[in-house]
Amino acid sequence: MNIHSARHPKVKKWKELYAGDDRNGEYFVTDSLRMLKGAVERGLLTEFVIHEKVREYGLFEDMDRTWISEEVAAEIGMDTGYWFAVVKKPKLRIEKFERILVLDNYHETGALGTVIRSARSFGFDGILLTGDSANPWYRPVTRSGMDNQLELPILSLPFTDAIRMLREQHVLFVTVGKRKAVPVEQIPAGKRVALLLSGSDAYSPSLLAVSDIVCDPGLDCSDPTVLGEAASIIMYACRNLKGEQ
Amino acid sequence: MLRSVNSSRVRKLHRAFIYKDWEKKDVFSVVGESNIRQAVNAGIVTEILYVSDCPIAFGKKTQVTTEVMEYISRGKEDALVAICKKTEIPIPDGELHRILVLDKVVYRANIGRIMNLAFSFGVDLVYYSEGDGTNYHARSIVKTSQGASLFLPAIPANLPEKLRELRTQGWYIVGTSLQDAVPLSEIPAHDKMAFVVGNEHFGVSEEVLQETDVNCRIEMENNDSLNVAIATGILLHRFRV
């Protein structure tokens, strides 16, 4: 299939998905090879779009390719690479959980993907995104998240709803802080844990107010760029791996 | 006040701060108020350039126009730029306990984050692969390291040779690889430990792995690797001093 006109009805939707504007829709766009492979394996790939300027190189010959012109690529705003895939979001639910991560106002797109990858690696059962957090299906997040978004449930909901839901489940609330903080190794084992982190104010009074345990991962979390590392250190400390049970 | 992009001083600053030939230059720039404060504390700032206001107490400050700042700062919208002299960061006095070895880690964002983690968790010095082309004075490294790269010595070295030398001096060398790996939680702490982390795509090279005493794997499921900065953080946190 060839699409040469920027006025083609598909182009508007691709542009929206490419920019990460449609966070609640049924589809997302990725330019991550790992995510593409994951989507193909799970039968979630709906369209593979490639720039006609690379037609002569014989790339992705095993895919059903939709070729686009320079005009269409420019309209979409393609800024990295020469292809993207339109993928259907998996329908994942958090049925029951032992470990859950709550990210409030977490804006860092690259770091969000890294945290998603760490969360799944350390046996967390899901992520709740609250406040004004980044879109977990935005391209940069799909790159750093590898294909973990396809298996780890990630829900967006208001902060108060997330806290109320978790309170009803009687989980232990853990956050980061400095005052009266314990080393991460002292997070009690064998308890259901919700790790709460804020991307806008690491030592957030609202998170500290609801938390049962304040831990110190040894980093100055007042800079949100270190939150990914801090989150991973804590998630490793309270990991819940099936092989270790 | 510096007003003209045609002045010889401004042109000289522009040339000093462009990335090309960074190895040959004896100055570098630091941007952002908190990083500049760190650079002032490190005693390496020679002058601060500012557009309208400079909130940092420092002897030599020069006001420049927005146009001059854009020219010096290569179009980036910086309001403050510190001119810093390249100096060798001294290796701490006394006995060292933690060394970090970067085997061809290439992404500057990762290097900056790793430098910050190393500084936070008590690493005394960093060795990195000589000739890997990384400018440890790059703005992005200073920025992502939260200024830690201005204080933590980073020394280029032939890594296999350096690790052999460290081992003869009693250092316990911990590599990160799945090859014959021991779970991280099972590795005991030693007084003098050197940790080796590797390239974002290829990991630690074979010739460097031959010099390790033990290879560790971070216990995980569903994935077989983590981002290198994340893995370094978990490793250094476990053996923090």
pLDDT per position as a tens digit, B187-222 = 999 999 999 999 999 999 999 999 999 999 999 999
Contact A218 B237 (CB under 8 A): yes
C-alpha distances out from residue A1 to A7, A28, A39, A43, A156, Å: 16, 20, 21, 20, 36
Question: Can you give the pLDDT at residue A245?
Answer: 60
Nearest to A111 by CA among A136, A81, A74, A84: A136
Cβ atoms of residues B229 and A229 within 8 Å: yes
Contact A218 B219 (CB under 8 A): no
- Over residues B23-66, the pLDDT tens digits come to 788 889 998 898 999 999 999 999 999 999 889 989 899 999 99
Which structure tokens are listed for A175? 């956050």
Give the Cα separation of B42 and A135 in Å (integer). Answer: 39
Q: Is the pLDDT of residue B75 over 70?
A: no
Average pLDDT estimate for B135-151: 91
Q: What is residue B12's three-state secondary structure?
A: helix
CATH of B8-85, one of 3.30.750.24, 3.30.530.20, 3.30.1330.30, 3.40.50.880: 3.30.1330.30
Cβ contacts of B228 on chain A, cutoff 8 Å: none
Helix axes B228-238, B108-120, angle to 10 degrees: 10
Of A144, A229, A243, the CB nearest to B221: A243
How close does chain B come to A110, measured CA to CA in Å? Answer: 11
Question: Can you give the pLDDT at residue A178?
Answer: 84
Contact A226 B223 (CB under 8 A): no
CATH of A2-88, one of 3.30.1330.30, 3.40.50.1820, 3.30.460.80, 3.40.47.10: 3.30.1330.30
How close does chain B come to A235, measured CA to CA in Å? Answer: 10
C-alpha distances out from residue A212 to A1, A107, A198, A221, Å: 57, 25, 16, 19
Contact A225 B144 (CB under 8 A): yes
What is the location of CATH 3.40.1280.10 in chain B? 98-238
User: pLDDT > 90: what percent of chain A?
Assistant: 70
Give the Cα separation of B85 and B138 in Å (integer). Answer: 13
CATH code linked to domain B98-238: 3.40.1280.10
Contact A144 B227 (CB under 8 A): yes
Give the Cα separation of A189 and A200 in Å (integer). Answer: 29
Contact A148 B240 (CB under 8 A): no
Q: What is this structure's pTM?
A: 0.90
- Residue B102's Cβ-count burial label (10 Å; 0-12, 13-18, 19+) is buried
Higher-pLDDT residue of B46 and B12 is B46
Give the Cα separation of B94 and B84 in Å (integer). Answer: 28
Question: Can you give the pLDDT at residue B63?
Answer: 93
Question: Can you give the pLDDT at residue A95?
Answer: 84
In this prediction the ipTM stands at 0.89
Which of residues 116 through 135 in chain B touch A, CB cutoff 8 A? 116-117, 120-121
Cβ atoms of residues A210 and A116 within 8 Å: no
- Over residues A42-96, the pLDDT tens digits come to 999 999 999 999 888 878 888 889 999 999 999 999 987 899 999 999 999 998 8
Q: What is residue B171's three-state secondary structure?
A: coil
Give the Cα separation of B153 and B130 in Å (integer). Answer: 14
Domain A99-244 matching CATH 2.20.25.90: the answer reads no
Give the Cα separation of B78 and B107 in Å (integer). Answer: 23
B93 CB-near residues (< 8 Å, 6+ apart): none
Which structure tokens are listed for B89? 């960061």
Pairing of strands B172-176, B193-198: parallel
Cβ contacts of A122 on chain B, cutoff 8 Å: 220-221
Contact A229 B113 (CB under 8 A): yes
Contact A120 B117 (CB under 8 A): no
Nearest to B22 by CA among B103, B108, B80, B105: B108
Cβ contacts of A118 on chain B, cutoff 8 Å: 226-227, 230
Q: Is the pLDDT of residue B76 over 80?
A: no
Under 8 Å CB pairs connecting chains A and B tally to 71
B224 forms beta bridges with none
Cβ contacts of B222 on chain A, cutoff 8 Å: 120-121, 148, 151
Q: Is the pLDDT of residue B230 over 80?
A: yes
Task: Please tell me the least confidently modeled range out of A103-117, A126-140, B5-19.
Answer: B5-19
Higher-pLDDT residue of A141 and B20 is A141
CB atoms within 10 A of CB A187: 17
Where are the domains positioned within chain A?
Answer: 2-88, 99-244
Question: Can you give the pLDDT at residue B100?
Answer: 98
If DSSP states are collapsed to H, E and C, what string results for chain A?
A: CEECCCCCHHHHHHHHHHCCCCCCCCEEEECCHHHHHHHHHCCCEEEEEEEHHHHHHCCCCCCCEEEECHHHHHHHCCCCCCEEEEEECCCCCCCCCCEEEEEECCCCHHHHHHHHHHHHHCCCCCEEEECCCCCCCCHHHHHHCCCHHHCCCEEECCHHHHHHHHHHCCCEEEEECCCCCEEHHHCCCCCCEEEEEECCCCCCHHHHHHCCEEEECCCCCCCHHHHHHHHHHHHHHCCCCHHHC
Cβ contacts of A151 on chain B, cutoff 8 Å: 222
Nearest to B172 by CA among B155, B157, B191, B159: B191
Choosing among A118, A141, A148, which should be mutated to test the B contact, i.e. which has the most B CBs within 10 A? A118
Q: What is residue B230's three-state secondary structure?
A: helix
Nearest to A216 by CA among A173, A172, A171, A182: A182
Amino acid at B115: M
- Over residues A167-197, the pLDDT tens digits come to 999 999 999 988 889 999 999 888 899 999 9
Pairing of strands B27-31, B80-85: antiparallel
Which structure tokens are listed for B19? 């990335």
Question: What is the sign of the dihedral through the CA atoms of A18, A78, A68 and A7?
Answer: positive
Question: Can you give the pLDDT at residue B139?
Answer: 86
DSSP string, B102-130: EES---HHHHHHHHHHHHHTT--EEEEET
How close does chain A come to B122, measured CA to CA in Å? Answer: 10
Is B223 touching A (CB cutoff 8 A)? yes
Give the Cα separation of A124 and A86 in Å (integer). Answer: 27
Question: Can you give the pLDDT at residue B17?
Answer: 80
